């Protein structure tokens, strides 16, 4: 039996969708050709050459003075496909030629794709969606213009996954997270239309956690020892 490992705390750091930022002066001349030859779906934003640092950015890093321009850059979304999770090391191995930075797991694929042209960002420059580039067979138009009902279903699924991964037990905390994260801005309308449903889901998770904690606290030492031994036997199998 392996000792000293808290299996409840173990996390899967892999995900099927990743994003990163790349700078034109760090890209090889044939970067688009290399993406064309890949079988992995990739979507690249228009060149973001009109972005400026905000007061929020300056609070995080005093060197990023509010109102000053950001270095021109591209946002890149890498999609391995549903169920095909990849680690950060694997992504860098596949796309090291991009010399990307700020690699992040994509929380909402639709939200991230819609962020590429800032269509829902009120205080940001809006870029031309016709300059979005797709590679590896990715259908940008199909995803970004998903019918409202289908889009809502996918977004609600993303929301529930986000709530689980971040252990959110209050609706106000979830709303604050959506308001503060630019990538999640696209969730707002769907969240507002499904406020009661999402509140019930979060409340149910909170009640389930409370009931489980109560049940655990009422277990006798003999029960706890028996369960620990059973877990140990399973690990040895």
Q: How does pLDDT run across 4-14, given as a tens digit for each residue?
A: 434 333 467 89
Residue 3 has pLDDT above 50, yes or no: no
What is the C-alpha to C-alpha distance for residues 86 and 102, in angstroms, rounded to an integer? 16
Please indicate whether residue 3 or residue 165 has the higher confidence score (pLDDT): 165
Q: How does pLDDT run across 182-216, given as a tens digit for each residue?
A: 778 778 878 888 999 999 999 999 999 888 888 87
Q: How does pLDDT run across 64-120, given as a tens digit for each residue?
A: 999 999 999 999 999 999 889 999 999 999 999 999 999 999 988 888 998 999 987
CB atoms within 10 A of CB 122: 7
Residues 137-141 have a mean pLDDT of 91
Q: What is the model's pLDDT at position 129?
A: 93
For residue 209, give Cα distances in angstroms to 47, 120, 160, 161, 177: 45, 35, 16, 16, 21
Q: What is the model's pLDDT at position 215?
A: 80
Residues 117-130 have a mean pLDDT of 89
Q: What is the model's pLDDT at position 65?
A: 94
Burial of 146 (0-12, 13-18, 19+ CB in 10 A): middle
Q: Under a CB-based contact definition with an 8 Å cutoff, are residues 171 and 202 in contact? A: yes
Q: What is the model's pLDDT at position 47?
A: 98
Give the least confident one: 62-66, 156-160, 220-224, 228-232: 228-232
Best CA proximity match to 22, nearest among 68, 74, 62, 57? 74
Q: Are strands 74-79 and 41-44 parallel, antiparallel or unpaired?
A: antiparallel
Fold of 1-145: Replication Protein E1; Chain: A, (3.40.1310)
Backbone φ, ψ for residue 77 (5° rounding): -115, 125
Residues of the chain above pLDDT 70, percent: 85
Q: What is the model's pLDDT at position 117?
A: 93
**Residue-range domain boundaries for the chain:** 1-145, 147-237
Using DSSP's 3-state secondary structure scheme, residue 69 falls into strand
Best CA proximity match to 15, nearest among 106, 100, 94? 106
Q: Are strands 17-22 and 41-44 parallel, antiparallel or unpaired?
A: unpaired
Q: What angle do CA 172, 15, 155 make, to 5 degrees?
A: 40
């Amino acid at each position: 039996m392996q000792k000293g490992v808290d299996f409840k705390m173990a996390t899967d750091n892999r995900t099927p969708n990743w994003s990163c930022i790349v700078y034109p002066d760090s890209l090889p001349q044939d970067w688009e050709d290399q993406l064309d030859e890949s079988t992995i779906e990739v979507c690249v934003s228009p060149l973001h050459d009109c972005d400026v640092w905000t007061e929020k950015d300056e609070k995080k890093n005093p060197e990023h003075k509010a109102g000053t321009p950001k270095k021109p850059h591209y946002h890149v979304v890498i999609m391995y496909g549903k169920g095909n999770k990849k680690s950060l090391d694997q992504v860098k191995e596949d796309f090291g030629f991009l010399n990307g930075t700020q690699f992040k797991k994509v929380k909402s694929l639709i939200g991230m794709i819609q962020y590429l042209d800032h269509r829902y960002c009120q205080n940001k420059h809006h870029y031309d969606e016709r300059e979005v580039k797709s590679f590896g067979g990715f259908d940008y138009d199909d995803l970004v213009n998903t019918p409202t009902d289908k889009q809502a279903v996918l977004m609600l699924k993303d929301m529930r996954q986000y709530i689980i991964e971040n252990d959110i037990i209050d609706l106000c905390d979830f709303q604050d997270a959506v308001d503060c994260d630019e990538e999640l801005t696209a969730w707002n309308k769907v969240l507002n239309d499904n406020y009661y449903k999402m509140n019930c889901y979060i409340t149910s998770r909170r009640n389930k956690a409370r009931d489980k904690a109560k049940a655990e606290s009422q277990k006798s030492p003999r029960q706890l020892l028996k369960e620990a031994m059973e877990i140990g036997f399973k690990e040895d199998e």
